[in-house]
């Protein structure tokens, strides 16, 4: 048996440690190169996960199972199905981007910066691959530590506030989830997710567990009204931090819904679906309006992330094939698009040191190549067909219409809203006359930035034009998940 | 049960420490000031010998000797081992600190060894008399150690508070013991356990006795509302002595609870479980909330210790072997973490400068990334974040509470942990996000650096591979017949 998943977890972590050990702060060059090699290696070891993946089965693949803490029946149990494998690839890809994006930009404590991202990448892969509750929890919690440091050390002005808020919000949810985990352990005598899937539970217990899980994952997604940590964290984090937060860590929240909430407490999920759908719609529409009035580009993209993630939770709680697949596709797409948007803001911020929309104007005159790239990403963010943003949103809206026309109608309205805030921001920043001397002095993309944005642009277009490889991977797993969720777990007396 | 009553093998580690303390006391008279390290190394050597002797004489079966005054079981052996290691690390970490303050003297080592001896007697007690004797020997030595800088006001004040409140607690304990003696007619722990199980008469008297005993335990452990001495003593004592108080005596306190509640009063669980729940909830919440307001690092860690002892009580509250082993693991994790935390504080202190304000940690990452990392691990371990050892401590006690049917207590526990995370995060913030104020180079002896690094890494290592320690805690308690 091959241990690709262990490699996907430990290669980045070990390279991260190597970066700190070998690349002292004085010697930033070494640190950068080791980090880049580590990130490339981390991506390469993930490729077999896709090429050797069997689309025809919903069973866990690349399974590894070793004793870890026999005292508690905790196993080092890894495996991926069609739902999780894409996120591991997405994460390793994003890590590569982040290391590359921080190449010249980060000047202080380079080794620690690179190491934090690499270690976090390994931990995130672990969270996506873990099939044991405690193993998942360890990865899920441990990734807060590097992110806390990334926001706090390399962040903007209000970084301390943002970092502590981010940490405590996330911790509150996950601690309640821990109690739920232990409760499930009491009931089954095991921390294995498989055993939890099979455990019959009364509706009232399911609702309690649902609340505990929901506290953890809704904060992570984030759903309205527990989203307030996100604009702060995204805005204050350095570019790389925003990219990883938006592209990956939000996805762990969404992943938690399909891996934990739906299959473990299916009856509570059905019972509370109207509630979740309502707050998802509020997120989509209300947060869309909030995004419209932002003056800070990063904040605008942060709010647009919340709105886009609303589609994800909406799709999941429609309980049909199209909705769940649409939600997952939306997550993958949002991983590319939000990463790209934050990278674009990062490119401008590195030159101008401001994120305010009002400080820009007419950037297209001095940075034509950049303007073209950003055009593409802005279109993808508004869900234009032939970009990745279209696929997920369209599928979710179709699914919503199948359930209830007005549900689909409200969700569809937000497409207009998304186009409005993104394109209006684009217009104010990129078009028009050159606003001031700083903009006039801008230089266009460097070669590094060109290839960086070019890579993401290729991914966005690929998924938009030919989404089948992405959908095929998840299809069987989603069918199986829905079949499981449709069965009641309430014990018959 | 071994029927031999006069068996020196069972108390050999105690004899080693006693002999060493007396020898150092004598030898120190003949040493010049520049030879004080002889006493130091003698103490370290004695600890090593005691460690080897304990390992060598370790056995699975439970032995009671000296007319059943002393018990030698596996848990006693392990608690002794842990105490030796802890005291040895205390000596290593505080060597420079003591030296520059003129405290690197024979009486310091002698008092530390006598305190250790007291802990050992307490750990091996099978009778209320022995238990009380050990407790007093330990406490009196610690009172003296707190006041060892006798021309400074803060330590003397701290010692005074410690002494008065400690004496009160001892009084409580004796009072409670006398009632239990009245109710059961014996002072011997295993006989009390049988009497408590067997008889229903004298229930009121027994219950009153339990109340006083639990109060005394709460005093010694520093649980709310008997916690008042902890912050003052932690802050007032020289940091090296704070380190001592925060480490090895926690094992002794564990032994005290184990022998009294699990051993003698195991049958009266209904009487003490409710009290422990109250102590546990108050300690966890109040300890963590008040810690937020502190600016003195030692005082903050004192409140953190109060809160952490609340989690230990959560394990005990469960009242079964799962709970006891959870509490034991928690104590081991806590002591290991505390040792590293105070170790870094001692490292940052130098002649005429006490690194005891939280602001003294500012910008530590720029001064020394390595020690900042160690302190980071300490803080996240105290906060119970994976992948550090502290997480598994929390996991075990929460599991014990849920296992005993107290899901709400577990929820209170995690909410308190969330409050706690705030001030631990603030320390990390100071170290990593802020710029240093104090830029003095950090110097330390090679042995200190090595041990402190190993200590810090052990927090991570046991966090990644907790099974050996977890399994050990459970096996030891089962073999010692606590189930």
The pLDDT value recorded for residue B1 is: 44
> What confidence score (pLDDT) does residue B265 get?
85
What confidence score (pLDDT) does residue A210 get? 92
Contact residues for A307 (Cβ-Cβ < 8 A; gap 6+): A283, A284, A287, A288, A291, A414, A417, A418
Query: Considering only CB atoms, which chain A residues are within 8 Å of B428?
Result: 148-149, 152
- A148/B428 touch (CB, cutoff 8 Å), yes or no: yes
* Angle ∠(B476,B478,B480) on CA atoms, nearest 5: 70
With a CB cutoff of 8 Å and minimum separation 6, the contacts of B34 are none
Helix (H) or strand (E) run with residue B71 in it: strand B70-72
Q: Identify all chain A residues contacting B381, using CB atoms and an 8 Å cutoff.
A: none
Choose the weakest-confidence range: A18-27, A384-393, B254-263.
A18-27
Distance CA B123, CA B119 (A): 6
Across A425-433, average pLDDT: 85
Q: What tokens appear for B405 in the block? A: 């049917």
pTM over 0.80: yes
Q: Which of A69, A112, A149 is opposite residue B467, by nearest beta carbon? A: A69
Mean pLDDT, range A236-258, rounded to an integer: 88
Instruction: Give the integer Cα–Cα distance in Å for B453 and B461.
Output: 12
- Which residue out of B385, B392, B393, B420 would a mutagenesis test of the A interface target, given it has the greatest number of A Cβ atoms within 10 Å? B385
Nearest CA in chain A to B399: A182
Buried residues in B344-378 as b, exposed as e (16+ CB within 10 A): bbbbbbbeeebbbebebbbbbbbbbbebbbbbbbb
How far, in Å, CA of B9 to CA of B156, rounded? 39
Task: Count CB neighbours of B23 within 10 A.
Answer: 16
Residues of chain A that touch chain B, judged by Cβ-Cβ distance less than 8 Å: 20, 25, 67-72, 109, 112, 134, 137-138, 141-142, 144-145, 148-149, 152-153, 159-160, 163-164, 167-168, 171-172, 175-176, 178-179, 182-183, 185-186
Which residue's entry shows tokens 């953890």? A216
The DSSP secondary structure of A356-423, one letter per residue, reads BGGG---HHHH-HHHHHHHHHHHHHHTT-TTSHHHHHHHHHHHHHHHH-HHHHHHHHHHHHHHHHHHH
Calculate the average pLDDT of chain A: 87
CA distance B299 to A317: 49
Question: What's the pLDDT at A135?
Answer: 92
Whether the upstream peptide bond of residue A128 has omega within 30° of 0, thus cis, is no
The H or E element containing residue B63 is strand B63-65
pLDDT at B2: 47
Question: By CA distance, what is B434's nearest residue in A?
Answer: A153
Give chain B positions within 8 Å (CB) of A179: 398, 402, 407, 410-411, 414
From the CA of A45, how many Å to the nearest CA of chain B?
23
Of A253-257, A463-467, B393-397, the least confident: A463-467
Cβ neighbours around B202 below 10 Å, total: 17
CB-based contact A153 B432, cutoff 8 Å: yes
Alpha carbons B348 and B360: distance in angstroms, whole number: 8
Contact A176 B411 (CB under 8 A): yes
Distance CA B24, CA B31 (A): 10
How large is the angle between the packed helices B106-123 and B74-100, nearest 10 degrees? Answer: 160
- Per the model's pLDDT, the better-predicted residue between A103 and B52 turns out to be B52
pLDDT tens string A403-420: 888 888 888 888 888 888
Q: Roughly what angle, to the nearest 10 degrees, separates helices A159-188 and A144-154?
A: 180
pLDDT at residue number B306: 93
Share of chain A above pLDDT 90, in %: 10
- Measure B413 CA to nearest chain A CA, in Å: 10
Q: How many angstroms separate the CA of residue A328 from the nearest CA in chain B? A: 28
- Asked if A186 and B410 come within 8 Å (Cβ–Cβ), the reply is no
Q: Which residues of B touch A (CB under 8 A)?
A: 365, 369, 376, 380, 385-387, 391, 395, 398-399, 402-403, 407, 410-411, 414-415, 417-418, 421-422, 425-426, 428-429, 432-433, 466-467, 470-471, 474
CB-based contact A81:A122 (threshold 8 Å): no
In B, minimum Cα distance to A111 occurs at B369
**List of residues 6+ apart from A213 with CB closer than 8 A:** A177, A180, A256, A260, A261, A264, A265
pLDDT tens string for chain B (483 positions)?
444 556 788 888 999 999 999 999 999 888 888 888 888 999 999 999 999 999 988 888 888 888 888 888 889 999 999 999 999 999 999 988 888 888 888 889 999 999 999 999 999 999 999 999 999 999 999 999 999 888 888 899 999 999 999 999 999 999 999 999 988 888 998 888 888 887 667 788 888 999 999 999 999 888 888 888 999 999 999 999 999 999 999 999 999 999 888 888 887 788 888 899 999 999 999 999 999 988 899 999 999 999 999 999 999 888 888 889 999 999 999 999 999 999 998 888 887 788 888 888 888 888 888 899 999 999 999 998 888 999 999 999 999 999 888 889 999 999 999 998 988 998 998 888 888 887 778 888 888 889 999 999 999 999 888 888 888 888 888 888 776
Q: How far is A387 from chain B (nearest CA, A)?
A: 39
For B418, the closest of A25, A175, A183 (CB atoms) is A175
Scanning every residue of chain A, which has its alpha carbon at the shortest distance from the alpha carbon of B422?
A168
Nearest to B432 among A141, A152, A175 (CB): A152
Q: How many Å lie between the alpha carbon of B228 and the closest alpha carbon of chain A?
A: 29
Q: What is the C-alpha separation between A345 and A353, in angstroms, rounded? A: 10
Phi-psi region at A31: left, alpha or beta (left = phi > 0; alpha = psi -120 to 50): alpha
CA B350 to chain centre: 26
Nearest residue to B170 via CA among B129, B201, B130, B136: B136
pLDDT at residue number A431: 85
Contact B385 A141 (CB under 8 A): yes
CA nearest to A390, candidates A298, A452, A462, A319: A462
With beta carbons less than 8 A apart as the criterion, state whether A116 and A124 touch. no
Task: State how far residue A163 is from chain B, nearest Cα, in angstroms.
Answer: 9
Task: Please tell me which of the candidates B380, B402, B474 has its beta carbon nearest to residue A183.
Answer: B402
Give the distance from residue B10's alpha carbon to the nearest chain A alpha carbon, in angstroms: 30
Give the pLDDT of residue B376: 93
């Amino acid at each position: 048996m091959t241990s690709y998943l262990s490699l996907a977890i430990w290669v980045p972590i070990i390279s991260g440690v190597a970066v700190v050990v070998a690349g002292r702060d004085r010697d930033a060059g070494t640190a950068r190169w080791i980090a880049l090699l580590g990130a490339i290696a981390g991506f390469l070891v993930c490729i077999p996960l896709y090429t050797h993946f069997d689309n025809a089965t919903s069973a866990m693949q690349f399974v590894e199972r070793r004793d870890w803490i026999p005292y508690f029946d905790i196993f080092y149990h890894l495996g991926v199905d069609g739902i999780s494998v894409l996120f591991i690839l997405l994460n390793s890809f994003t890590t590569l981007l982040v290391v590359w994006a921080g190449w010249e930009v980060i000047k202080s404590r380079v080794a620690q910066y690179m190491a934090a991202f690499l270690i976090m990448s390994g931990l995130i892969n672990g969270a996506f691959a873990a099939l044991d509750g405690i193993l998942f929890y360890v990865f899920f919690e441990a990734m807060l530590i590097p992110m806390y440091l990334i926001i706090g050390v390399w962040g903007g002005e209000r970084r301390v506030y943002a970092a502590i808020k981010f940490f405590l919000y996330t911790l509150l949810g996950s601690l309640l989830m821990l109690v739920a985990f232990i409760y499930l352990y009491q009931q089954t005598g095991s921390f294995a997710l498989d055993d939890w899937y099979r455990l019959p539970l009364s509706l009232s217990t399911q609702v309690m567990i649902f609340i505990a899980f929901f506290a953890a994952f809704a904060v992570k997604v984030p759903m309205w009204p527990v989203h307030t940590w996100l604009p702060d964290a995204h805005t204050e984090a350095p570019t790389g931090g925003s990219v990883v937060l938006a592209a990956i860590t939000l996805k762990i929240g969404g992943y938690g819904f399909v891996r934990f909430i739906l299959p473990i407490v299916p009856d509570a999920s059905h019972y509370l679906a109207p509630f979740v759908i309502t707050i998802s719609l509020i997120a989509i529409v209300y947060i869309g309006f909030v995004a419209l009035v932002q003056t800070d580009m990063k904040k605008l993209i942060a709010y647009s992330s919340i709105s886009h993630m609303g589609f994800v939770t909406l799709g999941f709680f429609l309980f049909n094939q199209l909705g769940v697949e649409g939600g997952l596709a939306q997550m993958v797409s949002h991983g590319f698009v939000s990463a790209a948007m934050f990278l674009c803001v990062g490119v401008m911020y590195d030159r101008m040191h401001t994120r305010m929309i009002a400080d820009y104007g007419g950037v297209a005159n001095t940075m034509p190549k950049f303007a073209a790239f950003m055009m593409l990403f802005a279109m993808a963010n508004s869900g234009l067909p032939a970009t990745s943003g279209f696929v997920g949103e369209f599928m979710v809206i179709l699914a919503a219409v199948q359930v209830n026309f007005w549900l689909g109608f409200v969700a569809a309205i937000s497409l207009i809203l998304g186009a409005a805030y993104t394109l209006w921001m684009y217009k104010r920043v990129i078009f028009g006359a050159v606003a001031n001397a700083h903009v006039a002095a801008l230089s266009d993309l460097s070669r590094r930035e060109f290839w960086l944005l070019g890579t993401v642009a290729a991914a966005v277009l690929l998924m938009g034009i030919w989404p089948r490889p992405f959908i095929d991977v998840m299809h069987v797993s989603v069918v199986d998940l829905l079949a499981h969720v449709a069965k009641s777990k309430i014990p018959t007396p | 049960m071994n029927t031999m009553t006069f068996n020196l093998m069972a108390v050999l580690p105690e004899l080693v420490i006693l002999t060493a303390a007396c020898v150092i006391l004598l030898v120190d008279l003949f040493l010049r000031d520049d030879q004080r390290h002889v006493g130091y190394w003698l103490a370290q050597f004695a600890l090593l010998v005691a460690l080897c002797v304990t390992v060598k004489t370790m056995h699975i079966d439970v032995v009671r000797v000296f007319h059943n005054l002393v018990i030698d079981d596996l848990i006693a052996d392990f608690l002794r081992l842990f105490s030796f290691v802890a005291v040895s690390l205390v000596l290593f970490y505080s060597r420079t600190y003591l030296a520059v303050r003129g405290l690197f003297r024979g009486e310091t080592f002698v008092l530390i060894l006598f305190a250790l001896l007291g802990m050992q007697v307490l750990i091996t007690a099978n009778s209320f008399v022995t238990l009380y004797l050990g407790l007093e020997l330990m406490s009196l030595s610690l009172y003296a150690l707190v006041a060892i800088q006798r021309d400074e006001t803060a330590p003397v004040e701290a010692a005074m508070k410690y002494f008065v409140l400690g004496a009160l607690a001892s009084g409580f304990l004796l009072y409670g013991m006398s009632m239990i003696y009245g109710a059961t007619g014996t002072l011997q722990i295993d006989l009390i356990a049988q009497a408590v199980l067997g008889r229903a008469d004298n229930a009121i008297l027994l219950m009153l006795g339990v109340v006083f005993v639990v109060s005394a335990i709460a005093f010694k452990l520093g649980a709310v509302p008997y916690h008042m001495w902890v912050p003052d003593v932690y802050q007032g004592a020289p940091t090296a002595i704070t380190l001592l108080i925060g480490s090895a005596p926690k094992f002794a306190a564990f032994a005290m609870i184990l022998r009294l509640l699990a051993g003698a009063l195991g049958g009266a669980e209904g009487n003490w479980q409710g009290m422990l729940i109250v102590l546990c909830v108050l300690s966890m919440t109040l300890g963590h909330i008040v810690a937020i307001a502190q600016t003195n690092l030692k005082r903050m860690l004192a409140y953190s210790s109060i809160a952490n002892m609340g989690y230990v009580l959560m394990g005990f509250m469960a009242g079964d072997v799962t709970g006891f082993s959870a509490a034991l693991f928690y104590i081991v994790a806590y002591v290991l973490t505390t040792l590293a935390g105070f170790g870094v504080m001692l490292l940052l202190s130098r002649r005429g400068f006490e690194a005891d304000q939280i602001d003294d940690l500012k910008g530590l990452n720029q001064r020394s990334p390595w020690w900042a990392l160690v302190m980071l691990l300490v803080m996240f371990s105290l906060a119970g974040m994976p992948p550090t050892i502290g997480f598994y401590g929390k996991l075990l006690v929460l599991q014990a509470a849920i296992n005993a049917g107290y899901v709400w207590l577990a929820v209170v526990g995690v909410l308190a942990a969330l409050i706690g995370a705030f001030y631990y995060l603030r320390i990390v913030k100071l170290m990593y996000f802020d710029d240093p104020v104090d830029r003095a180079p950090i110097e330390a002896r090679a042995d200190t650096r090595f041990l402190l690094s190993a200590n810090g890494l052990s927090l991570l290592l046991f966090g990644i591979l907790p099974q050996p320690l977890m399994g050990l805690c459970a096996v030891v308690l089962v073999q010692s017949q606590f189930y």
